[in-house]
């Protein structure tokens, strides 16, 4: 008998309901203390994720993306001070003890890490590692565990799952290893699945296969997906909503089509312009975001992007608040670029993969 809520062969697309967000984060803050200095890594981040939807959190390295989701998972070191609110299915995650978090992690919220080779134990077979994830949260017999492992491998479209279950990670390709990691994350059918740069180490073809798989799982299981990435192309193609982070803050947030058809934050515009374009002649120099991200231990006065922004003036010495300036489109900027109906996608194929409605 299947241990899934619904057998794999009977899964159907799940309708997105308006019954409220499955995950609601409000004013999340993360501070580290190092050598007597306070480092503000995440500064008042707020967002919501609906069941069966995909939120992409994008930004440069050091923008606070991974720290934000690791705070939700309870995976930060003891030196981290986390405040604010993060409610998952009515349960407050911030302030949970390690014992309480172990009951939630994997069962209600799971994470796919960036490098599958490092996420898997090289001394254990694929089947043994998935079995371990199943037994952690379920009291089941040995045969039920074996059946569940094969179900999960089929769910993630693993070729020849009966053979792969006995193999070790080094015997699998990068894409297969990532499918194993996804199967482990789905072992208890969590409500929220976090993909932290889950396709960075993969080639372009395998990357598309993994993203298509996540979209399919989102639709069939009704799982909410939070995708962490620096790749705007992936966000434009697969996400329902995009949240742009810079210096530990949210600087722009909107539904995917809205954001990429009307980019307003200069930082977001700079990221879009830095995307390589097939239409450009060969050897065309790539656009770059000039300067360097701010040091979190030495915050910039006013707008954190001010030292790198060509539009900055004295107004930017005061930090602009994240404000809903337009319907469903919030941004933090005194001098936004573009305007209504002014596309800034730079050739991005927006919304051709997922449901962008």
- The fold of the 21-230 domain, in CATH, is Rossmann fold (3.40.50)
Residue 32, exposed/middle/buried by CB under 10 A (0-12, 13-18, 19+)? Answer: middle
- Confirm if 228 and 57 have CB atoms less than 8 A apart: yes
d(CA 46, CA 22): 14
Q: Which residues contact 120 (CB under 8 A, 6 or more apart)?
A: 126, 129, 169, 177, 180, 181
- Confirm if 265 and 331 have CB atoms less than 8 A apart: yes
d(CA 18, CA 75): 30
Cα angle 289, 291, 294 (rounded to 5 degrees) comes to: 110
pLDDT band at 353 (very low <50, low <70, confident <90, very high): low
For the segment 207-265, what is each residue's pLDDT rounded down to a tens digit? 888 888 889 888 888 899 999 988 888 899 999 999 999 999 999 999 999 999 999 99
Name the residue among 101, 65, 100, 4 with its Cα closest to residue 293: 65
Token pair for residue 150?
A: 């094969």
For the segment 156-194, what is each residue's pLDDT rounded down to a tens digit? 889 999 999 999 999 999 889 989 999 999 888 899 999
Verdict on whether the full-model pTM lies above 0.75: yes
Token pair for residue 79?
A: 């030196």
Q: Report the share of the chain in percent with pLDDT over 70.
A: 89
Q: Quick check: helix, strand or coil at residue 206?
A: helix
Token pair for residue 265?
A: 């934050």
**Domain chopping of the chain, boundaries:** 21-230, 249-357
pLDDT band at 73 (very low <50, low <70, confident <90, very high): very high
| Residue 351: per-residue pLDDT | 55
- Confirm if 269 and 346 have CB atoms less than 8 A apart: no
For residue 55, list its beta bridge partners: 226, 241
């Amino acid at each position: 008998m299947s241990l899934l809520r619904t057998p794999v062969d009977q899964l159907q697309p799940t309708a997105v309901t308006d019954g409220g967000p499955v995950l609601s984060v409000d004013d999340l803050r993360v501070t580290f203390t190092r050598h007597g200095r306070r480092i503000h890594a995440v500064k008042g981040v707020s967002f919501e994720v609906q069941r069966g939807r995909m939120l992409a959190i994008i930004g440069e390295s050091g923008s606070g993306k991974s720290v934000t989701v690791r705070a939700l998972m309870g995976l930060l070191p003891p030196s981290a001070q986390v405040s604010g609110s993060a409610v998952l299915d009515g349960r407050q995650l911030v302030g949970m003890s390690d014992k309480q978090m172990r009951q939630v992690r994997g069962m209600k919220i799971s994470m796919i890490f960036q490098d599958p080779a490092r996420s898997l134990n090289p001394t254990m077979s694929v089947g043994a590692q998935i079995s371990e994830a199943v037994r952690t949260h379920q009291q089941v017999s040995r045969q039920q565990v074996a059946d569940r492992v094969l179900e999960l491998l089929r769910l993630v479209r693993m070729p020849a799952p009966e053979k792969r279950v006995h193999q070790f990670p080094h015997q699998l390709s990068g894409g297969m290893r990532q499918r194993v990691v996804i199967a482990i994350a789905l072992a208890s059918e969590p409500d929220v699945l976090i993909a932290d740069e889950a396709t960075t180490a993969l080639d372009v073809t395998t990357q598309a296969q993994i993203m298509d798989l996540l979209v399919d799982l989102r639709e069939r299981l009704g799982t909410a997906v939070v995708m962490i990435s620096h790749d705007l192309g992936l966000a434009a193609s697969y996400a329902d909503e995009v949240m742009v982070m810079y210096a530990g803050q949210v600087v722009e947030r909107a539904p995917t089509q809205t954001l990429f058809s009307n980019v307003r934050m200069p930082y977001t515009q700079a990221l879009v312009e830095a995307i390589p374009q097939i239409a450009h002649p060969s050897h065309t120099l790539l656009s770059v975001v000039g300067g360097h991200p701010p040091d979190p231990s030495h915050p910039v006065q006013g707008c954190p992007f001010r030292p790198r922004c060509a539009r900055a003036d004295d107004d930017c010495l005061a930090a602009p608040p994240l404000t809903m300036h337009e319907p469903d489109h919030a941004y933090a900027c005194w001098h936004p670029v573009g305007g209504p109906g002014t596309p800034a996608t730079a050739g991005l194929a927006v919304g051709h993969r997922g449901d962008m409605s």
